[in-house]
Amino acid sequence: MAPPPRRLLLVLLGFLAAASLATLAAAVYEDQVGLADWHQKYIGKVKQAVYHTQKSGRRRVVVLTEENVIASLDLRSGDIFWRHVIEKNNPIDQLSLSAGKYVVTLSSGGSILRAWNLPDGQMIWETNIQTSTSSKSLLHVLSNSKVVKDNLVLVLAGQWIYAVSSIDGVISWGKEFTLDGLEIKQVVQSPENDIVYVVGIAGSSKLAVYQLNAKTGEIVKDAQESLPDGLCGEILLGSSNVLVALDETRSALLIVEFKGESISYNKVQISEFVQDFSGTVKLLPLMSNGIIALQSSSTVSLLKLKGMDGLEVIHSFDQPASVSDALTITEKDEAFAVVQHVGSQIEFIVKVTSDLTNEIIREKVDIGQHRGSVQKVFLNNYVRTDKSHGFRALVVMEDHSILLIQQGAVVWSREDGLASIVDVMASELPVEKDVVSVADVEHNLFEWLKGHVLKLKGTLMLASVDELAAIQALRVRSSEKNKMTRDHNGFRKLLIVLTKAGKVIALHTGDGRIIWSNLLPSLRASKSGERPSALRIYQWQVPHHRVMRENPSILVVGRSGASSVAPGVLCILDSYSGEELNSRSFDHSVAQIIPLTLKDSSEQRLHLIVDSNCNAHLYPRSPDALNSFISEMSNQYFYSVDMQKNAIRGYSLQKSCDFNADDTYCFSTKLLWSIIFPSDAERISVSEARKMNEVVHTQAKIIADQDVMYKYLSKNLIFVATVSPKAAGEIGSAAPEEASLVAYLIDAVSGRILHRVTHHGAQGPVHAVVSENWVVYHYFNLRAHRFEIAVIEIYDQSRADNKDVLKLILGKHNLSAPMTSYSRPEVMVKSQSYFFTHSVKAMAVTQTAKGITSKQLLIGTIGDQLDADMVCMAPHIYPSYLMGN
């Protein structure tokens, strides 16, 4: 038999090498997806939506959100066809559809124009546009097919207007307006010809109107006029040659008419036609036929423009209410929607601009609880079988959820507030009851019989669509991982998350389903428009012993406004039901929240809230909690990081409060130490500390050469990373010679620097995590052009003599000696750096009840993948072990 050719041997050798490497990889088989994991995608609060409902292809709605996400949603189910999360430094300004097959986005202040393929979301082209200023940009897609073969896209940024081809992104023409300080506010296309109207403001009082040829960009006519009263910048085109604008004080409307090269105007006070006018007023989106919408703090008014004579109120809606953009339904008529709240329902009203007294649709829709008020409405129409017009609406709620309403019902809904999670915590599920009542047995028997009947109908293919859905839900409920009781290993839990909208949502770790949700009244926007901010969520009460029958509760802390000095708010919720048990407002601000390890007799955990004046306030405010805290106050220390002043400070507590001595729950602070980094050499990038509730099983660690080392276990250990000023920007903003990263290990009680290491040629962003006696941090190496992960382990040398077995048996050791941060510690540090292939968005470490299970480092990558590995992140592992693994 002839020997095999050499090429075949090389191919076989390649397959063997690939097989040997494959054994090192860990993955999930396709048929195992969803058995032990779940994955959900969200998009955030929608700020713009465009429908695509042509007969060919799937019907969808393309949305742009405040989380800088563009996504295509199925109009039937709300499922995501495709989604792109754009980086924060490239904010998307506007979105539109072109030629029925492209999604066009304008971002970065009008400097980047992109086109995406509508069916699959692939980027078709990208065009960089030169802009002189960073003013508000506008995007307008010309709908008149007479101009050119493809739809031109108009981009207005600063004093420039560009026309870009939607097919290949080539700039057809560009025009710069010579008026100094011009800021373009509105662009309108004439339906009769190829004329485009451009309206802008120079300064605060000079109004300019230009007429441009859409084919060439040539200015056909222009008119400029200085108005005696300033303008706030909100302008709408009320009719073909009449503008409506808000004055600088937002108390009057200016009706501006332009004829040829002349401009005339008339000023009308809003109080003349809007009763009980108060608060901030703004003009809502454009509508035709001389109809505009004016929103105040109490009402939304529909106004009819009567030429230059003034405005007439046609209808008013009490707040909260929202008005949609106008939607063309015939050549001469447009429709719009108004959604307002009626008790626990919303009322969906559709009117036409030609006859505001008539209502095409008025429907009441039940949307459920804990969604808040309506924020935005996006209207769409369709043709029924009888050739009449039907309407659907995408409604954006205060909790950032979205609903599709059609024919008086909610077709689908999405809980997209989960795209903006502020904080998260895990809570235990209830213990399974051993004693079961007769009623429960009868109910379970009925459910068992009902389930068997459904399964039998499904097997015989006699089940309806609703019954098939019930069978699937029954399978989910009966699954072991989806039970609503605590399991033996503690894997089943509730993930309680706090969103940016101020909503608390509990998710089951088994399948990610929502167990309960609550939009907190204390964190909802006020009538004046001030938006509270949610900060953190903590465990408030975990029942044990005599309070075992009570449900556990959680603490939510926020601010009543966006400012850091705004008064704080506190809410306590039941962990199992989401019911709000208590809430209160503070008369002080919230600068820092410190959860303590102390508890009162009712198992409520004590928390310190530090205000902007550096006074500490104790919660809960009860004599029992105060007594527990006073006895341990001398051992309580905390630190603060001031990023602006580039300083870290450590504090202790004193009994009396500086500004209110009568408040026994308020404590003043004493500055113990401070570290101020020189701003010309270092800037604080990140600071991290150990979790206060972290459990450590053992003090000793056996390393690879069978030697025993004792961990330096201090809950006062702080990790601080600083970067050079030139390296504080994006990657590549500094040369390797100008960049450096310095890592510090600092004791929070004494301010002593335990360890310091410098990485030359390194740059942020820095991500770090601290656990037990080690720190892992991630950064970018400019010299190697790669990401790196560094690990630092710190050991206590004062206990190094406790390796003699005889001394341990005879009790001649110091393992039980108390540790103090005031004595100079004898520490030994081991550190190592490794190349890492991924860019990192987040880092964390696993946590267990007893601290026995090995820690896993969780790394969230920029590609939304999760890397969990701690084996190679140790400085004492031999290089031969790393090469073999």
Q: Do residues 58 and 81 touch, judged by C-beta distance below 8 A?
A: yes
**What pLDDT digit, counting tens, does each position of 579-592 carry?**
999 999 988 999 99
- Greater confidence, 293 or 61? 61
Chain position carrying tokens 């693994």 = 885
Tokens for 450, please give them: 């009902």
Q: How confident is the model at residue 184 (pLDDT cuts 50, 70, 90)?
A: confident
C-alpha to C-alpha distance for 624 and 603, rounded to whole angstroms: 11
**What pLDDT digit, counting tens, does each position of 595-607 carry?**
998 988 888 999 9
Whole-number Cα distances in Å, 804 to 124, 432, 710, 798, 801: 70, 47, 13, 14, 7
**What pLDDT digit, counting tens, does each position of 133-180 carry?**
666 788 888 875 444 456 789 998 878 889 999 889 999 999 888 887
Question: Cβ of 122: how many Cβ atoms within 10 Å?
Answer: 10
Does the pLDDT of residue 187 top 80, yes or no? Answer: yes
Mean pLDDT of the chain: 82
* Nearest alpha-carbon partner for 292 in 306, 272, 280, 278: 306
Report residue 554: phi and psi, to 5°. Answer: -125, 160
pLDDT number for residue 884: 42
Q: What stretch of H or E contains 94?
A: strand 92-98
- Greater confidence, 512 or 440? 512
Of the chain, the end-to-end C-alpha distance in Å amounts to 40
* Nearest alpha-carbon partner for 526 in 416, 373, 419, 422: 373
- Greater confidence, 59 or 703? 59
Q: Which residues of 344-363 are buried (b: 16+ CB within 10 A; e: fewer)?
A: eebbbbbbbbeeeeeebbeb
Give burial (CB, 10 Å; 0-12/13-18/19+) of 304: middle
Q: What is the DSSP letter of 604?
A: B
* Nearest alpha-carbon partner for 286 in 404, 389, 406, 138: 138
**What pLDDT digit, counting tens, does each position of 422-453 carry?**
999 999 888 876 544 445 545 566 776 777 77
Lowest mean pLDDT among 338-342, 473-477, 538-542: 473-477
pLDDT number for residue 678: 92
Whole-number Cα distances in Å, 392 to 73, 300, 333, 414: 15, 21, 18, 16
For every residue of 627-647, which 3-state class applies, written as one string?
A: HHHHHHHHHCEEEEEECCCCE
Chain position carrying tokens 């809003």 = 270
Q: Do residues 351 and 317 touch, judged by C-beta distance below 8 A?
A: no
- Greater confidence, 250 or 94? 94
Residues 762, 764, 769, 775, Cα dihedral to 10°: 10
Tokens for 197, please give them: 């109207």
Axis crossing angle, helix 465-478 with helix 438-459, rounded to the nearest 10: 130
What is the Cα Rg of the chain in Å? Answer: 32
Chain position carrying tokens 């008539």 = 358
Q: How confident is the model at residue 347 (pLDDT cuts 50, 70, 90)?
A: very high
- What sections of 424-464 are H helices per DSSP? 438-459
C-alpha to C-alpha distance for 825 and 405, rounded to whole angstroms: 66
Chain position carrying tokens 């031969």 = 880
- What sections of 653-721 are H helices per DSSP? none
Report residue 845: phi and psi, to 5°. Answer: -135, 145
C-alpha to C-alpha distance for 134 and 158, rounded to whole angstroms: 7
Chain position carrying tokens 């750096």 = 833
Chain position carrying tokens 């603060």 = 640
Per DSSP, the three-state class of 578 is: coil
Q: Do residues 617 and 588 touch, judged by C-beta distance below 8 A?
A: yes
Does the pLDDT of residue 801 top 70, yes or no? Answer: no
pLDDT number for residue 855: 83
* Nearest alpha-carbon partner for 125 in 117, 134, 133, 137: 117
Q: What share of the chain is helix, strand, coil (3-state, %, to 5)?
A: 10, 45, 40
- Greater confidence, 576 or 435? 576
Does the pLDDT of residue 477 top 70, yes or no? Answer: no
Does the pLDDT of residue 18 top 70, yes or no? Answer: no
CATH ID of 493-676, from 1.10.10.10, 2.40.128.630, 3.40.50.300, 1.20.58.220? 2.40.128.630
Q: Rounded to two decimals, what is the model's pTM?
A: 0.85
Q: How confident is the model at residue 292 (pLDDT cuts 50, 70, 90)?
A: confident
Tokens for 679, please give them: 């701003």
C-alpha to C-alpha distance for 769 and 755, rounded to whole angstroms: 16
Identity at 707, one-letter amino acid code: D
* Nearest alpha-carbon partner for 38 in 515, 514, 513, 511: 511
Does the pLDDT of residue 190 top 70, yes or no? Answer: yes
